[in-house]
C-alpha cells in the first residue's frame, strides 16, 4: 500500500511539475523602463554601465528583472510618447535624466521615477525639496541653490585667506542664476559682490 501511495504521489508531482514551471515563467518580472533623451550611440555606454551594475547587484536581465530601453534620439517631442508607453505597459520604475524627467512626471504620479541628473529639481517643481522630495520622483541633482552657501563655506575652509572669487555662470540658464544669487547672499558683507 505504501508503495502505491508513493508512486501516486510521485506521478502526481511529475504531472504537476510542468504546470508549476510554466506558472513561474509566466509571472511578470519587475520591469525598469529606461527613457533616454539621447541616441544609442551617444548614451549607450551609460545604459550598459547601468545594466552592468544591476548584474553586480544580482539583477539579471531576463531572469530577475526586465529592462525596457527607449531612445528619444534627441527629439524632445518623443519624451511624452515614451513616458506614456511606459505607463501603458506598467513598468515598475522609470529611470531617466535631464529634460525627459518632466515628461515622465507628467505621465504618472504613481510609478516611481528615478533621475540620474537634473539641474535644481526643487525650483523646477520636480520635487518639494532635496531633503524631502515627496511624490514619486527622486534622484541626483547637478546643482542646487540650497547648497551654494555650503559650497562657499567649504571653499573658505579650504582657502582661509580667500578674498575674491570669480564665478562663471550661464546667464540664460535660470538654475545657474538662482545658484549665483545664493552665493551672493552667503558672501560676507565686507567682500565685494560679483558683477553680472
pLDDT of residue 140: 87
65: its cell numbers: 528583472
Q: Which helix (H) or strand (E) holds 32?
A: strand 31-36
The mean pLDDT value of the chain amounts to: 82
The 10s digit of each residue's pLDDT in 107-120 is 999 999 999 988 77
Q: Give the SS3 label for residue 89.
A: coil
Query: Model pTM?
Result: 0.66
Q: Give the architecture-level CATH label for domain 26-141.
A: 3-Layer(aba) Sandwich (3.40)
pLDDT of residue 57: 96
The 10s digit of each residue's pLDDT in 126-174 is 899 888 889 999 998 876 667 788 888 888 889 988 888 888 877 766 7
Helix axes 100-107, 77-88, angle to 10 degrees: 40
| Cα–Cα–Cα angle for 109, 110, 113, rounded to 5 degrees | 80
Amino acid at each position: 500500500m505504501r508503495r502505491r501511495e508513493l508512486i501516486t504521489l510521485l506521478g502526481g508531482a511529475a504531472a504537476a511539475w510542468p504546470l508549476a514551471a510554466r506558472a513561474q515563467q509566466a509571472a511578470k518580472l519587475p520591469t525598469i523602463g529606461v527613457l533616454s533623451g539621447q541616441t544609442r550611440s551617444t548614451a549607450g555606454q551609460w545604459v550598459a554601465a547601468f545594466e552592468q551594475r544591476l548584474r553586480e547587484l544580482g539583477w539579471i536581465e531576463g531572469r530577475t528583472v526586465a529592462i525596457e530601453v527607449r531612445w528619444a534620439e534627441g527629439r524632445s517631442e518623443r519624451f511624452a510618447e515614451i513616458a506614456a508607453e511606459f505607463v501603458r505597459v506598467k513598468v515598475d520604475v522609470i529611470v531617466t535624466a535631464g529634460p525627459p524627467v518632466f515628461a515622465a512626471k507628467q505621465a504618472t504620479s504613481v510609478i516611481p521615477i528615478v533621475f540620474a541628473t537634473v539641474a535644481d529639481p526643487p525650483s523646477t517643481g520636480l520635487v518639494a525639496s532635496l531633503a524631502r522630495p515627496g511624490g514619486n520622483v527622486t534622484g541626483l541633482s547637478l546643482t542646487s541653490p540650497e547648497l551654494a552657501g555650503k559650497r562657499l563655506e567649504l571653499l573658505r575652509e579650504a582657502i582661509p585667506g580667500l578674498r575674491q572669487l570669480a564665478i562663471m555662470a550661464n546667464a540664460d540658464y535660470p538654475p545657474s542664476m538662482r545658484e549665483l544669487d545664493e552665493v551672493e547672499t552667503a558672501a560676507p558683507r565686507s567682500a565685494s559682490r560679483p558683477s553680472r
